[in-house]
Amino acid sequence: MRMVFLVLGAVLCVVGMTAFPRANENEQAGRTVRQTTGSDGANLFANGTIYINADKKAHNLLVKDGSVAGWNVQAEEHPSATTVDLKGATAYPGFIDSHCHLMEAGTVLEVGADLASCKDVDSIVNKLAEKIKSVPENGVVMGVGFSLTDYDKWSLQDLAKIDKVTGNRPAFLVDQLGHNAIINTATMKLVHLTPATPVPQGGMIIKENGRLTGMLRERAMSLPWSKIFAGLDSKDIKAGTLAMLNHWASIGYSGAIDMMGAPGLRFMRPDIFMEMEKQGILPLRIHYCYTLLDLNDVADAAKYMGNDTELVRFLGCKIFIDGACAGGEAWTSWTNRLGGHGFPEIYTDDGHGEQLNLNRIVAKVEEYGMNMHYHVQGDMAIGAVLGALEKVRAEKGRIKGIHTLIHLAFPTDEQVERLKKFDGHVVTTVQPGFWAVETDGEHYYGEHAIHEYPISKLIEAGVSVGMSTDFSVSPIQYAPATVVLGVAATGGGNPEAHSPLKVRDVLHGFTVGSARTTGKNDTGKLDVGYKADMVVYDQDLYSISPVKFSKDFPKLLSTWVGGRKTFEAPEVSMPKQ
């Protein structure tokens, strides 16, 4: 069955840290590896500026077998190396989008309905009416990107409008946040969903007068998902994913952490990434995650360990601790303007069963030696994770994996200090684009909204901070690395609410910071022994006024992954590899 699918949702994770052999630290101004066996097959990047990291520059870079073999080398000592002429351009370590949903989004954009502009049922219906013309009678209608002010008010009248346009075709529509879904009556019949169906812990089914309205929130989305996912066409997944990956390579990224899921949903098809790699068409270095729904899932996730390829790597697990901040669901210690404390999706004791006890889940992940990414928004969610990690450390004496906290809308000063006490085993990744696109903070959180996403607080405290887009929660126009730079460096256009970041800190976040969230130690720099992943711009990013950054300025000239060019601006002519 061919599915019309559009999921622009949210998810992510990591794998165990490995020691990586380093060259001797011999020179402050430059480092050279003497080639004793010749340099056939090597490339020498020259005639431009090359940043080894966010602070250190070199005038050339020697690359061999996909990794950096030296920098500031003597060119005459490498006569067999092919010179890659940068023509005055500036190269940086490859930028890593440390939290995005490229496979889900790509699949949807290939075959589904784009609901990004939809704010109510009528606009959704209008979009579906056009898309339905291309959906066969036995097909499934899918879409993503809508955004509502109050999801709990979705009504039977709204369901009737969706039913009228979709008819007997099952429908599965995911919102921009990836935390809510609309289904129609045909889908309810397909999966035998009734008002008596038990609601998964951490989920909500919106009803009216005891009847299903079709609105599923958080983990309740899992109820129809298995049948929906089973019908997806692999060709559509591959085509849509490849188009999205190529786009990411063209907007400033050499790598990405693909979440492959949302609350209650898993989109586990890493085999498609690996197939692309075998065909020589994979344009990014991919790390992928397995979304945990409960304790039993940890063993299933561990089955992906040990199957890494050069470009496709299993990071570990991801788990949702609370709901979407932009939907008023951040789990907070204080009462929000909706009159509650948000929406926890997991618990810190056995009150809802051992399977949903975060402490047990974290201990089991550590037992397997896996890493984990945590969706945390409110201070209660952040505290729950830190408490579970502190418990493991107290019992085992140390933390083995790399544990990444994602989003962090309302961290307290005390929690920031606790973050720093895990010897680098607890890191973060943030999304500056949220400053510009999530505008309902005051509606849900009142005076607390001023503390939403305090990225500068984390950086100034010395916490490891990666950078990401969380596409598709952030719209695609906010995805280019230079757009993220502009938003971050201007405080999202509202510096009184969001302390602007230094360009240097954003670059460090996209490189070293994001690399740390992968659990590996061979990307994020252009130092000896690191993968030769890089992005090349026509100007030095440090020379650009923050207000001038845009999707086209400065211009990305090329993207390289493991020394292989995966994107080149059309009018640019560099030696083909």
pLDDT in tens, 337-375: 999 999 999 999 999 999 999 999 999 999 999 999 999
Six token digits for residue 297: 């899932």
**Contact (CB, 8 A) for 536 and 33:** no
**Contact (CB, 8 A) for 565 and 574:** yes
What's the per-residue H, E or C state across 470-507? Answer: CCCCCCHHHCCHHHHHHHHHCHHHCCCCCCCCCHHHHH
- Return the amino acid letter for 183: I
> What does the radius of gyration of the chain's CA atoms come to, in whole angstroms?
24
Using DSSP's 3-state secondary structure scheme, residue 141 falls into strand
- Return the amino acid letter for 360: R
Contacts of 192 (CB under 8 A, 6+ apart): none
**Contact (CB, 8 A) for 174 and 191:** no
DSSP of 51-112: ESSSS-EEEEEEEETTEEEEES--GGG-TTSEEEE-TT-EEEEPPEEEEE-HHHHHHHHHHS
Q: In angstroms, rounded to a whole number, what is the distance separating the alpha carbons of residues 448 and 328?
A: 12
**Contact (CB, 8 A) for 511 and 308:** no
Strands 203-208 and 312-320: unpaired
Domain layout of the chain by residue ranges: 252-522
Q: In angstroms, rounded to a whole number, what is the distance separating the alpha carbons of residues 214 and 218?
A: 13
Residue 31 DSSP label = B
Backbone φ and ψ for 379, nearest 5 degrees, come out as -65, -30
Strands 43-51 and 82-85: parallel
- Return the amino acid letter for 173: L
Six token digits for residue 460: 């100034």
From first to last of its 577 residues, the chain has per-residue pLDDT tens of 333 332 323 322 222 222 222 233 233 334 333 333 334 579 999 999 999 999 999 999 999 999 999 999 999 999 999 999 999 999 999 999 999 999 988 887 787 888 988 999 999 999 999 999 988 888 889 898 899 989 999 999 999 999 999 999 999 999 988 899 999 999 999 999 999 999 998 899 999 999 999 999 999 999 998 888 888 889 999 999 999 999 999 999 999 999 998 888 899 999 999 999 999 999 999 999 999 999 999 999 999 999 999 999 999 999 999 999 998 999 999 999 999 999 999 999 999 999 999 999 999 999 999 999 999 999 999 999 999 999 999 999 999 999 999 999 999 999 999 999 999 999 999 999 999 999 889 999 999 998 899 999 999 999 999 999 999 888 899 999 999 999 999 999 899 889 999 999 999 999 999 999 999 999 999 999 999 999 999 999 999 999 999 999 999 999 999 999 999 999 755 544 4
- Return the amino acid letter for 561: V
What CATH superfamily classification does 252-522 receive?
Metal-dependent hydrolases (3.20.20.140)
CB atoms within 10 A of CB 307: 12
Contacts of 126 (CB under 8 A, 6+ apart): none
Contacts of 405 (CB under 8 A, 6+ apart): 373, 374, 376, 382, 385, 419, 426, 427, 428, 429
Q: In angstroms, rounded to a whole number, what is the distance separating the alpha carbons of residues 202 and 356?
A: 9
Question: Dmax over Cα atoms in the chain, in whole Å?
Answer: 81
Which alpha helices (DSSP H) does 379-453 contain, by range? 379-396, 413-419, 434-437, 441-445
Six token digits for residue 184: 């129609």
**Contact (CB, 8 A) for 71 and 526:** yes
Six token digits for residue 59: 């005038």
**Contact (CB, 8 A) for 194 and 133:** no
Q: In angstroms, rounded to a whole number, what is the distance separating the alpha carbons of residues 518 and 524?
A: 10
Given this model, what pLDDT does residue 440 score?
Answer: 85
